[in-house]
Homo-oligomer: A and B are copies of this chain.
Amino acid sequence: MKWQYQQATDAVSQNRKNLNDFEALVKANSRDMDTAWIVLCGALVFFMQAGFAMLEAGIVHPKNVTNILFKNMIDASIAAIAFWLLGYGFAFGSDSGGFIGKCGSACYFGLKDVYNGAGDGMGSSDGWEKWFFQWAFAGAAATIVAGAVCERTKLEAYFIYSVFLSTFMYPVIVHWVWGYGWLSAWGAYPDSNGVARPIFNKDTRSNGLIDFAGSGVVHMVGGFCGLVGAIIAGARRGRFGPDGSVNTLFDGNNTLQALGVFILWFGWYGFNCGSTLMISGGAANVAGKVAVNMTISAASAAITATFLAKALQGHYNISMGLNGVLAGLVGITANCAVVDPWMAFLIGFVAALILYGGHYLLLALRIDDPCDASVVHGFCGMWGIWATGIFCTDKNVQYAGYPNANEACGSGEQFGVQVVGSLVIAAWTIGMSVMLFLFIDKTIGIRVSAEVEEAGLDISEHGVAPSYEQQPQVPSRLCPRVWTFLQVH
């Protein structure tokens, strides 16, 4: 009997051992799924660089196309080096007073604490893919500005701006909102058990700022920085007549614009869906919901902008429609995980109105933002943050995986938090950019000379021939031979 008992006990503990192995395996699989998801989504987000490049190349005058392409290419590269050496450490290193990351128990300068085997090898990742995903975001934030200051700024000025943004200005906001900063939902103030608490109330009744995929962190930063740059650089020559009239300098290349917007829309599925940061444990469901909401918001904004333009301008204005898509996407980015589809529809609708109003507001203020980057990304980004407070429900916030269970949305507190958060982000961005661009302007100068601007930046900075506009007309490309064949047979 005793022997039998021993046998049974052995079998049971063997089972438990197998069970533990199995548990480890399943956890490792979950980790691997999550990592792969982030790598793939990160690649999609990177592809948005191609979208921005095409969109902006389709808007600027042909004499400046090479210049804008160059800016788009170089800011992704600068962001990679800057974010590797410093930015990522400022954003996600050990918290220092809720303000910035530093080198403490976690040190990410030069990716120091990301190394082979940094995770425990079973349930947690080594963290390589997180840098990759965050870099793609930093690159997107940097590249937004190129559209606002194009056709008149010095390339060297853009280098300086680009280094500063991805080294310091952007990472600090990331730390505040997505790291353990003072605005973060994961919070800077641990309670006695070490559980993080958001700054507002410092207990679980408050959420901190909810910015799921970066309406504020990425788009507002890029958009407001672009706005400041556009103001300090001043309008392009001839954009505004002495009598206050507005001149269209170039009609734009709609094919490139449309291509750019489609690529951006495509990459945005990586941007927003990937911001679940994992797919295991039900996060994949959230990713699905995010995809639905952002599709509906983009569609709603595109349709609204289209018919608004038709009603007010008398034409189906494709630039407005394309920018409508982007406005809808920017607007839903903060809240894609915490709203329902019908709310997404409304968010897109309002985003299109803001786009329309913002476009004419800038013109009325004589601010020259050729790509409307500050409207699409800045204003609609701010709307996205506010819309989160207006439309979020506490149930949805739980579903999206936010850590504290409370009724901040229902009680309206969340809206207050969102407004405060958006103002803080705007203040930081505007303050830093004013300093930055004024510094550049006083030292090397932000703007190219009038002759260079007139001749186009491609010649002066890139040494390439002027644009195609002197090309001879070619009436038809019909090849007689083929058609002769067809007409004979």
- Flag whether A96 is at the interface (Cβ < 8 A): no
State the CA gap A50–B18 with chains docked (Å). Answer: 49
Find residues 389-436 in chain A having any chain B CB closer than 8 Å to their own CB. 395-396, 399
State the CA gap A289–B281 with chains docked (Å). Answer: 24
Of all A-B residue pairs in the complex, the 9 with the closest CB atoms, nearest first, are: A129-B288, A128-B288, A251-B477, A50-B262, A315-B463, A80-B299, A35-B284, A77-B299, A43-B269
State the CA gap A53–B318 with chains docked (Å). Answer: 13
User: Of B76, B253, B266, which is within 8 A of A467 by CB?
Assistant: B253
With a CB–CB cut-off of 8 A, which chain B residues contact A476?
Answer: 246-248, 250-251
With a CB–CB cut-off of 8 A, which chain B residues contact A295?
Answer: 80, 132, 135
Q: List 22 A-B contacts (CB under 8 A).
A: A1-B1, A5-B8, A8-B9, A12-B12, A32-B33, A32-B282, A43-B266, A57-B258, A65-B254, A69-B254, A73-B322, A74-B303, A77-B302, A81-B303, A110-B341, A125-B288, A127-B288, A129-B292, A247-B475, A247-B476, A251-B477, A254-B464
Q: Are A306 and B74 in contact (CB under 8 A)?
A: yes
Report how many copies the assembly holds.
2
With a CB–CB cut-off of 8 A, which chain B residues contact A284?
Answer: 31-36, 39, 125, 129
- Flag whether A245 is at the interface (Cβ < 8 A): yes
With a CB–CB cut-off of 8 A, which chain B residues contact A475?
Answer: 247-248
Find residues 113-130 in chain A having any chain B CB closer than 8 Å to their own CB. 114-117, 119, 121, 125-130
State the CA gap A344–B471 with chains docked (Å). Answer: 40
- Flag whether A200 is at the interface (Cβ < 8 A): no
User: Of B28, B57, B110, B292, which is within 8 A of A281 by CB?
Assistant: B28
Q: Are B19 and A315 in contact (CB under 8 A)?
A: no
- Which residue on chain B has the smallest CB distance to residue A18? B19
* Cβ distance A364 to chain B, nearest Cβ, rounded Å: 6
State the CA gap A489–B265 with chains docked (Å). Answer: 33
Q: Are B42 and A479 in contact (CB under 8 A)?
A: no
Q: Are B461 and A39 in contact (CB under 8 A)?
A: no
Q: Are A299 and B15 in contact (CB under 8 A)?
A: no
Interface residues on A, range: 35 or more
* Cβ distance A49 to chain B, nearest Cβ, rounded Å: 6
Find residues 73-129 in chain A having any chain B CB closer than 8 Å to their own CB. 73-74, 76-81, 84, 110-111, 114-117, 119, 121, 125-129
Q: Are B132 and A280 in contact (CB under 8 A)?
A: no
State the CA gap A250–B471 with chains docked (Å). Answer: 8
Q: Are B251 and A465 in contact (CB under 8 A)?
A: yes
- Flag whether A442 is at the interface (Cβ < 8 A): no
Q: Are B54 and A487 in contact (CB under 8 A)?
A: no
- Which residue on chain B has the smallest CB distance to residue A470? B469
- Which residue on chain B has the smallest CB distance to residue A44? B43
With a CB–CB cut-off of 8 A, which chain B residues contact A470?
Answer: 469
Q: A373-403, CB under 8 A of B: which get 1 and which 0?
A: 0000000000000000000000110010000
